[in-house]
Structure formats: structure tokens, C-alpha cells
Structure 1
Amino acid sequence: MNARCLLLALLAATLAAQTVRGLPDWAGPHALREPTVPPAGDPDAWVLLDRTEFAYRGDGEIRKRNFRLVRILTERGLGEGGYAVHGLGGASSRIKRLKGWNLRPDGESVKLDRDYVITVAKGNSANYSTDTTTSAYLPRVVKGSLVAFESEEVITHPLGPLDGTSILEVHPIRRWELAMVKSVGWFTATASDGVRLRVDARHFAPLFAPPDPGATSLALDDVPALAKHESGTPDARNCLPWLALSFSDPTVPNAPDLASWDAYAMWIHGTYEPRTRPARPVDLAGATGLEALRTIRRWMQRELTYKQVYLTPDRGWVPETPEDVRRARFGDCKDLAGLFMAAARDAGFEAVPVLARIGDGTLEADDPVGPFGFNHAIAAIRLQAASGLPAEIATPQGRYLLVDLTEQFTPLGWLGEAHRGRRVLICTGKGATWAAVPDAAIVPSRVDVNLEATETANGGLKGTLSVTETGAGAGLRHLALTGGAREVRERCATLLDFPAGATWDLSPLPDPKDGRDTFRIQVAFELPHALEAAGGEWLLPRLGLPPSPQSIQRLGQPRRLPVSLAGGPAWDWRATLHLREPRLPAMPTGSLETPMRSLRFSAERKAGTLDLHLLQTRREVNYPYERREEGVQAQRSDWKGFRTFVDEALTVTAPRMP
């Protein structure tokens, strides 16, 4: 009997021995439904039902109720005895009711006690907000328990009646449902007939058939769990199914119009306009034009800190005033962008807000109109004539210079690596302008490593190693700014790959805000027994070489998600080794080409000195669903090829006797 058949038999036996009298009425039929098909894989819990009901009450208020029933299959699944509801806090979201039931395999029913419910604020040292998480924990959950939760929530979003949800989770789901209803629990909807509901379904194929246009309910059977042990995937919003829903209610004041991107962009522009009136946070000392912008930019990079402080729910979308940002000396992306816009206006420029998405996924050409596609705000400065700066773009509404004020090391006229290949929404008073970020605008990300060492009497190496990064580099400059020497040292321990027994010291760090284009660290080190012979060959230590790739897929496991691998900084590694005895490189020159990278290597011996040079260029690659296995094989080949190539490059031999 295979594992799935055994699981099916165990589930049937458990069901036969367990009544459902300790569960709420809505859970009983789903608990008693015979498991004709066991869940795929080796799950720790099985979600028998996840149903969410939405209703619109009017006045921008959404009522939401969730029903969830889970069977605990293993000890590792006991976490499903907990339940969490995330909200914006304040007046924007609150839990109206939360109930829970634990039907144990011995027939005992344990109900949720209020002592096991807690609401905590979400935040850390860089992020203070009204966001909350309400968590509930059922006591005495064991393997075989049937766990049920029922929650009722009131949502009044600062941007109007809208919400969204993803579908897949860490456990398989036998039945997943979404429904728009006229009533939810304790109320009946009272919205006017003029309210329109829009449901946008994203990335359902190839897992599911897309829902019919205009559908207000949806049901899915046998939803698989999120893939385990798979890395190198696109962001979830670009490959996994999710839903965005919004109620268009013209009676709600100050809510954005989601009928078109033009309407939404004008709303954003109108939100920023009264909060970005001309202001002079720094003395320009007579500077005008682009030099005035550079002066403002350098002052902000030196004096202000990026930090999220959201003491009201609407702060996630509404900027602070320039005066408040200057006084506090910190702000989030839109606060910093707003201050720069105000200062640029004082210097005689037109300035508008720009919405972007960086980090978590990309904006797609057919993204639904609304705020959830964006996670970043920058500024655009209107130019009357070409500036020659790389971050300048020409649009139907004019020529603009894009400026990201959260980038504390990027000079005016350039953008950081996070904007590569992205597009942005320029929000003017006349509507929306979409623009692609020029590749030439991205500061080249580069790491230059220089190693100089001398062989010691016992076959060790003693010397210095310097790392100079440009752009994002290896992230050392950012760590120096946020965590100081301690965090830089911790990063160097892995980045530079010092072997066991090595001793090393990090030189004092330069000021990360010194305004230079590069950031440089230096390490003095000593390695004992670094040149031990093995069969007439010596393998040099891997100090400061590009990091080795990691496998993205377990052997023997079928790939479920597309393969998406980002590029990386160019890595230029040079070593000068002063050796006590002549050594010859086993590979004087070599190259490796894969879809993911290009490697070039050369070595030259001069008397007692060995000069080595390795240059790596990384490439971004994407393999869609239909080519995902090809992507796994390509990455596995790249991983093996890299390790073999580097081992050959670091191998030296003794010269042959004449």
C-alpha cells in the first residue's frame, strides 16, 4: 500500500470513529465528507474548508466573515490550532467576533476561551504602525483533532471599500470558497443600488480555470499546498492565484476612483498636492537648476533617515507635510518624496508623485486599477530641456527626471538596482503616464575584491583583502549605515569565506554617508596551513570569491513553480600571492558560459608571484511553467559547473623538473 492510500485509509478510519457533535453546524458536513482523494504530498494538516464571505454595508464599510475547518494530521501540524487576523488597526479594521472549536479524536470538544485571544501591534525599530494581529489559540490540540474557527471582521479601508486575498497556503485545501452575500452574521447589507462590485482574478491558470467575468462567488476543490523546498521562483503575486475586490460607491468621500488609471493617478496627485507646497528645508546658497536639486538631494541623504511611522491607518498612503518630515528628520518613501517635491518646487521646478513596485514582484501590464500593485513612492521633476542624466525619461506629458529619495547612496540622475526592469506610474493633475525605467538609469552594481598575501613558513597565508562595492554591491555600505561595524563584520565572515582557524581584523569603516560613489572595506588576515599539498597539487583558499550558487530544487522532486533567478553584481576578483616556492596554475586561462552567468579566468606566474584574475557577470533568467523542469536542469548544471570551474582555477602545481 503506497503512502497516499495509507493516508486515505487512516482518514477514513478516523472519520468513522469520530462524531461531529462538538463542531458548529457549518463544519459538520465538511467533516463528515468521505475523503475519496487524499491530499497530495505529505501534509501535516488538511484544510477541509476555507470559506470567506464579503458584504458591503455602505459608507465604505465592508463586513467579512471567515469559516475554517482543519484536520490535524501530524505533530508538525499542531500550529493549525492557532488562527490570526491581520488588520490596519484604529478605526479601519476591528474583530467583531472570533470563535474556535477543537474536536479531539477521543470525542471531547474544547471551545475557544477569551484568555487565549490576544491582539498585538505589528512593528519594529524601523516600522511603527497601527497595524495589528489578532491571534487565537485553541488549547489541547492533538494529532487527529478537527479544528474550526469562525471570525467576523469590520473593514473601513482608508482608500475605500476594497480588499484582497490569496488562495494557496502551506497546507492543501479540500474546499475553498469566496462569496459576496447580502448579509454577514450580525447585519444585513444596506448599500445603495449604485454600488458596483469588481472582482479581479489573477494567475489562476494553469492551476485553475479563471472564474467567469462578473462572478460574485467562487469555489475551488483540491487546492494544492504551496510547494515545499523550492527556491528561485517568481514572486507570488506574479505566478500564484490571488483576488482583488472593490466596491465602487460614489457616496464615499475622499475615496479614489478606480474606474481608470487616469482617475486613480489624479487622486494620488490631489492627495500629495496640498502636502507638498513649496518649502526650503536647506539653504541652497545661490544654487539653481540641477545644482539646486543636487544640493537638496545631498542634504536629504546626509541628514534624513528612512523610517515608517504610521500612527493612523491612512498614513500608509498619505504623506506627512514637509515641515513635519524636516522636524522629525525621518520619513518613509512618500514622506521623503514629498519633501523633495516641495523643495524642488521652491527651486522653480514642477514636481509630481510617482508610484512604483520594488522588491516583491513586478507590476504587470494588465494589473487591476488600485493601490495594491504598488509598494513604493518616488518623485518626478518636470524638465524644460534635456539634462543628459540617465534617469530622465520622455513621456507624452513631458520630460521628467525620476528621483528615489530612499536611496541614500545614489547620486541625482540615477536609480538603484531595485528599479531595474520596472515600470512606474507618474501621477499628474491631468492623469496617468506609465513609463519604463531606462536600463541606463540603474547604477551599475559591482564588487571589486583585491587579495594580496604572502606564504608563511608553515604553509599559511598572511595578507590583506579589500572589497570595493559600487551601487548595491554586496550590501556592505547599507549594513554599515544600519548596523555599523558589528553587522559588517558578521557579513564578512560568510562573504569572504574565511576557513576555520583563520584570524582576521576589520579596519575602521569609512563614513557610509560620505557621498562617494564607492564604499571600501579592508581586512587583515592570517590563515595557518593554507597551502597543504594533496597529490602534488595545492588548492588555494576561496577568499573573497563570488558566492557559490545553491540548488533550487531537491533531487527527485518534480518542479511545481516557474524558475526565476535574479542577476547580481559584477564580481571582479584579483589575487596577488607571494609564494615561497614556484607554483604553476593548473588552468592558466578558462571560461564558463551558462544561462545564469559568465566566468572568465586567467593566471600568470612571475618569479615567486602568482597573479590570478576571475571576472563574473550574472544574468537574470526566467523559465515559465511549461519550461520549469528545463530551468531546474539549467540551474543544476550552472551550480555544478561553477564549483568545478572555481576548483580548477584555484589549483596550482609544482613546476616540472627539466
Structure 2
Amino acid sequence: MLATKMMLRALIAIVSVGLAGSALAKSSYPDWLEECLENKSVIDRFEEEADALCLLDESEIEYEGRGVVSQKVRRAFHIYDRDGRENARIAIQMSDGRKLDGFSAWIIYKSGKIERYKKNDLVEIALDRDKLRSDSYQLQLDRSESMREETVFAFEYETSKKTVFLDGAWRFNMGVPVVLSRLSLTLRKGWELRSSVFNSDFSEYSNEGYVHRWEGRNIPAVEIEESQPFSSLMTGNLYYTVHPDSKEMSRYPYAIFSNWNDVARYVDASQDERILTNEALVAKTEEITAGKESQWEKISEICSYAQSINYLANSIDLYNGGGMTPQFAEETFEKHYGDCKDMTALARAMLSCIGIESFAVTAQIGSDSWVYDEWASPAAFNHCILGVRVSDDAPDCSGVFEHPKHGRMLIFDPTTKNSSPGVLPYYLKGRKILVCSEKDDALLALPEMLPEENRVKREVTATINLGGNLNAELVQECYGGAAESLRGLYRSLKRDDFESFLRAWIANGTRDAQIDSWSCEDFFEENRFELTLSFTARRYGRLMNQGEMMLFSPVLMSRLQWVPPVDDDRKTPYLLSPHRTEETIRISIPENYMLDSSSNRKELESEFGRYSMNVSFTDGVLEADRLSVLERSVVPVENYGQLVDYFEQKSRAESSKVVFKQKG
């Protein structure tokens, strides 16, 4: 009996310890995370299609008045396998104007073990080592290596800041599926909110008193596919601007934007006091423009000088507009370094010395960026370039266009080293810009790139001997975007590395290729770049029947053997970039061989572009003339099969062989 009572007490103790342990584990993380973990059915639903699942992505922002904005962020990920472990990383954007008021993070293992991280576990990381004058940085925590299958990583933090800006953006989608995406904005009495939602039919909006909330549930992952348009054009995005009442506006210097004209005036004013000149700057302007008679020549010299400034990012006092204010032009001139807005301000100051009107122009560049007409905000842009009023005798070139308010205008990016004044860099083609002045300026779209502005013209002269070995000389002229790309590669790589690039390029179309010599010539003002290359390729011609027959492809370089994948279902539109290739190949054949067979001509015509290849043989020389033109187009998913078919036909044409046989 005693033994039975002792066993009962032991069992009660074990159960009590277990319950206490369970309570302790649950109390180690907040209720919001507990709710995420209880959603077992949704976790199971996405297991087969994702490496990780975002259980919650939430931001609560409160506008407290007098420029104070506080924010709470909560996020939790269920990691299905090791491939999803990159989601166990945190990067909190900070600056001297923003405070971190609280932070916690948790790892919850499948076994029930919990690890907790606090504020002192965060590591401060500079955003850019080049930023000599920047108060921006990140607080990071990386626990990706701790992730195991069926592990949960979650965190929450609170920040506060004082700012003149009351606008923002929210993206519902992620690279993984999202169970719940939620943004809440709390305003003060009498304040107004203007918002625009794009590609977010799944989101729901609610308003309770002064709290505005948007929610999206069970959102699929962002599809990442080759050659797709900006994902920001296909994902759910919310943009908003808060408008305080008149009393609050009188108490604090907010920067509020109702339209793009407001933005243009704000940016213009932020530069106005920074483009002042001094004696040294005036003297330098006179020096570099001396002897230049035309306005265009003087503008070109000043633009080229601004282009010589060393690029170093410079962002101070971001939350109060300092990120858009350049350093004084005389300071940039003296130190010979600055960022895009600094270079632009310097060029404007120098232009003012000779009485030429100029403007700051804002733009958005990058691999995934877009500007929506409906959301007027300086935050829509990440780059500052130069606009210059030019006379009617300025040359017709890609960088000069007719502005509806300001007349004929040159658009120039001082930060680029690969485009001369007058050339619109390829990365600005088709982008939206805002010319900033006191006039009624509006968003403008720069012209899209044409195939002729991204052109390659190539001539290859070659000889093939009785052993099938090839000796060739190539002369390639690149124009426009193609010239900028090859010029940039040539300038950025060491000579040996550039030669390795050329070797890999040749090897893509020939076997056992060796470079004998190469040289480059840069016609910078014309935006033309020329490459001359001599190379050999052993056994390029395949000999059959003890040399009785020889066969090879007449296309040596940039052979288009790749086609878009046909096995996978395409889920996003396909973006074709404009390009034009003109090529003539002449190969001298041993005199004891004659042409036996070839497909003489191939022509393709479609909405995507056109292609032709003509092969002829005269007086011992095989000549292949090739033309490929791709038009810029966004191919809908339903037309993807037609695109694949077009590329397949081109691939077959370029892979086809010519056959020679010995005479007699």
C-alpha cells in the first residue's frame, strides 16, 4: 500500500513538472506567436510547395503628432527544410533619427526547445563602406545556421522616430507564401489618409475610429522566373500618405505631397541653396570651357567634369529630408567626391556660372523598381540626375528630348562612367523621371530602348584547313547599350580577367579555342566600342570517312542554342529586351572541297522580332549573313508557347551544319 502511494506521488510530481514545463515554454513567447503556431492546417497545406512559410507579417504604425512616428513589427516563419533557412535573418534599418525601443526573437525547435534573443544580440552593420558621411546602418541578427526542419523563427521589435515625412509603402507578397499580411495605421483626430492599392484584389480594408487596417491571407509566394517584368508590377503593393490637420501642420514642418508638382518643388528647394558658387568654382568653370564656342560644347565639358567626381554615397538626417539635400557644390568641388545628388548640384553650379539653366531630375533605377503615377512622393525615387536646357542647335541624340514645360532638354547621369554627355544610359531607357522646378511638373517616361540602340555588328574572317582546324579574326562593333555594357566590363576587369571572359565567350561556340591576340578601341563620344580578336579552334570541322567529308556550323559566335524552358509552366509574363545583331562570316575552305549540302536561307517573322540567315558558297569561300532583331515586348503567359517556338526555330537554324565533300 505504501509503495502504491509513493508511486502515485511520483506520478503526480512528474505530471506537475510536465505541466509546469509546458506553461514555462508557452510563457516564453507572446500570445500572437502562440496563435501562429496553432494554425496547423495552414502549415501542412504549404509544406509541399515551399521551403518556408511566413505565418505572420505585421506592422502597426502610429502617427503621434509633432513628427513622432512609432512602429511595431511582428514576423514569424515556419521553416520546412534547410533550403528555407535564409528566412531566419533580421535586418532593421536604422539612422540617428530612429530609436530601437524594444526587440525580441525566438527559435522554437520541433522538440519544443526554445531559444530567445534580445536587443544586445543584434549586430550593427554599416550599409555601405563607401558612405563616409552617413548616419544609416542596420541592426542584424542571423540565425540561419541554427535552423532545422520544422523550426519556427519569429521576432518583434518597436521603433520610434521624428520625421517630416508621413508616407510609406507596404508589400503583401514575399518570396515565400504568407498566411497573414497586415498593416495598421493609427492617425490622430482630424487627420486624413490617402492610399492606393495595386495588384491586391485579395486584400481587405477596414476602418475603426482612427485605425486603418489592410489584411491579406494565404498569399502565394512571389514567382521568380527568368526575364520577367519588375515583380513590383505583379505583386500586391499599398502606398499611402498621411495628411495632418491644419493645426498640426502649423506646429511642425511636415513635408506633405498631394501631387507630383509638390514633389518637384520640394526637391528643387532642397537643392536651391546648395548650388552656390565661389571664386575657385567660377575659375574652374572658365578653365574647362575656355575656347569652346557653342553652348553644347560648354555643357559637355561641364558634364564630363562632374562625371570625373569620385562616387561616395552621402546620406545625413534621412528622416528630416537630408537624404535628398546635397552637400554644398563648393564642398563637392573641393573634396572631389560625392553621390548622385552632389554631382548633380556641382554640375548645376558650374552651369550657372555661364548662364545655363539646369534642373535636378529624380529617377528610379534598379532591377525591381517602378513609379506609380497615383502615389506622389520623393520616396518613389532612388537616384538624382541632371537636366539641362539646351538650344535648338544641340545635336539630335538619345539624351536630348522635348520637355512639355521646359523645351529642349538634355538628360545626363553624372554617376555613370560609361556614357558620354548626350547619351541616355540604357538603364534609364523607359524609366519615369521628374524634372524638379517651380513649374507644374509631372511624371514623364523616357523613351524605351530601340533595337538599333542596343546593336552589335560583327564580321568574322576565317580559314579552315584540311585537318578541320580553324583560324579566325573577329571585328565587333558595339553601339548604344551593347557598347556601354562591354565598355563597363572592359574598364572594371583586369586585363587577364577580361581575356578569360573572351575565352569563355569563344568556347561557347567553338571547341578547343585559343586566343592569339585581342585589342579594344573605345569611341566614347559616339557610344561605340570596338573589339578585335584573333583565335584558333582545333577540330572545328568534323572529318568523316577519313576526310572524305567535313561538316561544321557556319555560326561561330553567340550561337543561340538556348531556348526558354518548355517543361515548366510559365506563371509570369516574359520580358524581351530589344537587341539587334548583324553578322557576316566568311570562311575559306580547302580547295579540294566542294559544298555538298546546306540550308541556304532561313527567315522568321513574328511579333517578337525577326531573324534571317543566308548561306552561300562562291570561289572557295563560305559566307553566312545573319540578322537577329528582338523588339521590346512583354509576352503574356498565354503567348509563351509562341515565344518558345520562335526561339526553337532560331536555335535549329543556328545549329544547322554545312557539309563539304572532297572533289572528284
Q: Same fold (TM over 0.5)?
A: yes
1:647 matched to 2:655: yes
Deviation at 1:253, TM superposition (A): 5.8
Residue 170 and residue 617 in structure 1: after superposition, are their counterparts in 2 closer, same or farther (change >3 A)? same
SS of equivalent residue, structure 1 residue 643: helix
Higher CA-based Rg = 2
User: Are the equivalent residues in 1 in contact too, given 2:302–2:350 (CA < 8 A)?
Assistant: yes
1:517 aligns with 2:517: no
Post-superposition Cα deviations, 1:411-459, rounded to whole Å, max 9, x if no partner, equal 4434122233334222112332443434699982211222222224421
Give the structure 2 partner of residue 579 of structure 1: 589
Q: Counterparts in 2 of 1:159-238, with a 5 A limit?
A: 160-181=165-186, 193=189, 195-205=191-201, 208-209=202-203, 211=205, 216-228=212-224, 230-238=225-233
Counterpart of 1:152 in structure 2 is 158
Deviations 1:309-340 (Å, cap 9, x if unpaired)?
Answer: 44664664222333233334343332222222
- Aligned partner of 1:555 in structure 2 is 567
State the Cα deviation string for residues 312-371 of structure 1 (Å, max 9, x = none). 646642223332333343433322222222222222111111222334456556330102
* Higher helix proportion: 2
- Identity over aligned pairs, percent: 18
Give the secondary structure class of the aligned counterpart of 2:343.
helix
Equivalent in the alignment of 2:410: 401
Partner of 1:352: 359
Q: What is the CA–CA distance in structure 2 between the aligned matches of 1:156 and 1:534, rounded to whole Å?
A: 79
Q: Is the 8 A contact 2:451 2:630 kept in 1?
A: no
State the TM-score, normalized to the length of structure 2: 0.83
Taking the TM superposition and a 5 Å limit, the aligned residue runs for 1:614-633 are 614-623=626-635, 627-630=636-639, 632-633=640-641
Structure-1 residue corresponding to 2:237? 242
1:83 corresponding residue in structure 2: 89
Q: Distance in 2 between matches of 1:113 and 1:385?
A: 64
- Tell me by how many angstroms 1:125 deviates: 6.0
CA-to-partner distance for each residue in 1:476-498, whole Å, 9 max, x for gaps? 10112223434433432344435
Say if 1:130 and 1:73 are closer, same or farther in 2 by CA, change over 3 A. Answer: same
Distance in 1, Cα, partners of 2:141 & 2:490: 40
Matched residue type, 1:151: Y
Aligned with 1:453: secondary structure?
Answer: strand
Kindly state the Cα deviation for residue 268 of structure 1 after the two structures are TM-superposed.
0.9
Mind listing any 5+ residue stretches in structure 2 that lack a counterpart? Answer: 1-21
Task: Check the 8 A contact 1:446/1:471 in 2, yes or no.
Answer: yes
1:485 to 495, 510, 517: 495
1:514: Cα distance to partner?
5.4
Q: Find the aligned partners of 1:90 and 1:410 in 2 and give their Cα distance.
A: 34
Q: Tell me which amino acid in the other structure corresponds to 1:199.
A: S
TM-score (norm 1): 0.84
Alpha-carbon offset, residue 176 of structure 1: 1.7
Of the three residues 565, 568, 576, the one matched with 2:576 is 565
CA RMSD, aligned part only?
Answer: 3.3
In 2, the alpha carbon distance for the partners of 1:329 and 1:112 equals 44
Structure 2 equivalent of residue 12 of structure 1: none
2:552 partner amino acid: L
Deviation at 1:554, TM superposition (A): 6.1
In structure 2, distance between residues paired with 1:595 and 1:500: 35
SS at match of 1:612: strand
Shift of 1:84: 1.3
Residue 365 to residue 359, structure 1, CA distance change in 2 (3 Å): same
Tell me how far apart the structure 2 counterparts of residues 173 and 225 of structure 1 sit (CA, whole Å). Answer: 7
State how many pairs are aligned: 616
Contact 1:479 1:487 (C-alpha < 8 Å) held by counterparts: no
What SS does the aligned partner of 1:35 have? helix
Q: Tell me how far 1:258 sits from its aligned partner.
A: 0.9
For the residues of structure 2 that align with 1:394 and 1:108, how far apart are their CA atoms? 64
Distance in structure 2 (CA, Å) of the matches to 1:464 and 1:548: 22
Q: Given residue 595 of structure 1, which amino acid in structure 2 is its aligned partner? A: E
Check if 1:259 corresponds to 2:258: yes
- Contact 1:177–1:219 under 8 Å retained in 2: yes
Return the offset for 1:99: 0.7
Distance 1:589 1:544, change over 3 A: same
- CA-to-aligned-CA distance 1:218-243 (integer Å, 9 cap, x gap): 12111111225x22211022221122
Q: Find the aligned partners of 2:530 and 2:203 in 1 and give their Cα distance.
A: 53
The separation in 2 between residues aligned to 1:394 and 1:146, in whole angstroms, is 54
CA displacement 1:16-65 (0-9 Å, x = unmatched): 9x985543222112322341671275212222222211112333332111
1:395–1:435 contact (8 Å) kept in structure 2: no
Name the CA shift for 1:113/1:258 in 2 (closer, same or farther; >3 Å): closer
Contact 2:509 2:558 in 1 (8 A): no
Distance 1:617 1:167, change over 3 A: same
Distance 1:99 1:438, change over 3 A: closer
Q: Note if 1:133 corresponds to 2:143.
A: no
Aligned to 2:31: 25
Letter in structure 2 aligned against 1:653: V
The residue aligned with 2:148 is 142
> In the alignment, is the contact (CA less than 8 A) between 1:583 and 1:652 conserved in 2?
no
Structure 1 residue 534, shift from structure 2 partner? 5.9
What amino acid does structure 2 have at the position aligned with 1:617? V
* Cα distance in structure 1, aligned partners of 2:236 and 2:82: 29
CA distance in 1, matches of 2:416, 2:450: 13
CA contact (8 A) 2:327 2:342 kept: yes
> Structure 1 72/364 Cα, relative in aligned 2: closer, same or farther at 3 Å?
closer
Unaligned runs of 5+ in 1: 1-15, 183-190
8 Å contact from structure 1 (residues 320, 335) kept in 2: yes
Are the aligned partners of 1:485 and 1:509 in contact in 2 as well (CA < 8 Å)?
A: no
* Cα 1:135–1:542 shift into 2, 3 Å: farther
